[in-house]
């Protein structure tokens, strides 16, 4: 019984963030300003653990209520960071989300030089499923490599290429076309390691010149304009919540 209780407890900053009020950094600031109370007492420690189902949390004197769930698809442009703020003043995706009425966060990340499909939500259960390595949700990218890649090189990606942090899971790879100097191919992975596709191509002795994420699960960018968002349909949300790729044995 004790273990079951511990599983539902969360730190106070996470409780505020998961209610959709703002980031954990903002939540810690609000707690420090005395704007948050738990069970009628002013809270001062953002790292204190509480049960959101049993403890009464208020913000500015009002009971904490979960925000309406939002599930968005953003076509992230190259050059944007997926963080909330950047000390160097570089553009972030939140500059593209100014019209979104609730606090949202990216379900997964795309690095600054990668464009394409990014899921943005305030639904933490949804975000956790999409990003959890155990879910194996497939993610598809279009890659422009800096060299002409042989079929043997592409097969190494299909077989599970060795990386510095261990072998990658086998990937689905389809050659799209070759030009005089470059290979364009599509790759689907079921992991979310840092810069994974770039590192996989580098393990072949080439570089990624362009990287676009085109699909997550069965959700595609379609004709969405770069820098724009659209709401996911209820059917798409359900499909992503149940999306799970088979694990190779």
Residues that are catalytic: 111
User: Other CB atoms closer than 10 Å to residue 162's CB: what's the count?
Assistant: 12
User: Which pair of tokens denotes residue 126?
Assistant: 């949804």
237-244 contacts: CB < 8 A, separation 24 or more?
Answer: 237/71, 237/126, 240/119, 240/126, 240/129, 240/130, 240/137, 240/216, 241/126, 241/129, 243/130, 243/135, 243/137, 243/138, 243/216, 243/217, 243/218, 244/135, 244/136, 244/137
């Amino acid at each position: 019984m004790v273990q079951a209780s511990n599983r539902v407890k969360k730190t106070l900053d996470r409780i505020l963030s998961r209610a959709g009020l703002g980031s954990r950094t903002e939540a810690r600031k609000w707690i420090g300003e005395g704007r948050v109370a738990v069970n009628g007492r002013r809270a001062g420690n953002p790292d204190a653990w509480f049960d959101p189902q049993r403890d009464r949390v208020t913000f500015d004197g009002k009971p904490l209520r979960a925000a309406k769930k939002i599930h968005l698809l953003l076509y992230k442009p190259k050059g944007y960071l997926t963080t909330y703020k950047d000390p160097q003043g570089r553009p972030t995706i939140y500059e593209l989300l100014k019209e979104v009425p609730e606090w949202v966060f990216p379900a997964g990340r795309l690095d600054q030089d990668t464009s394409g499909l990014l899921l943005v939500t305030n639904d933490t259960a949804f975000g956790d499923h999409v990003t959890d390595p155990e879910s194996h949700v497939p993610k598809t990218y279009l890659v422009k490599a800096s060299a002409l890649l042989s079929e043997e090189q592409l097969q190494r990606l299909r077989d599970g290429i060795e990386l510095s942090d261990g072998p990658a899971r086998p990937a689905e790879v389809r050659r799209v076309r070759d030009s005089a100097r470059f290979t364009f191919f599509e790759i689907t992975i079921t992991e979310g390691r840092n810069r994974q596709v770039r590192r996989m191509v580098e393990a072949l002795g080439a570089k990624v010149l362009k990287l676009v994420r085109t699909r997550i699960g069965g959700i595609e960018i379609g004709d969405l304009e770069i820098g724009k968002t659209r709401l996911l349909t209820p059917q798409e949300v359900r499909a992503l919540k149940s999306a799970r790729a088979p694990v190779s044995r």
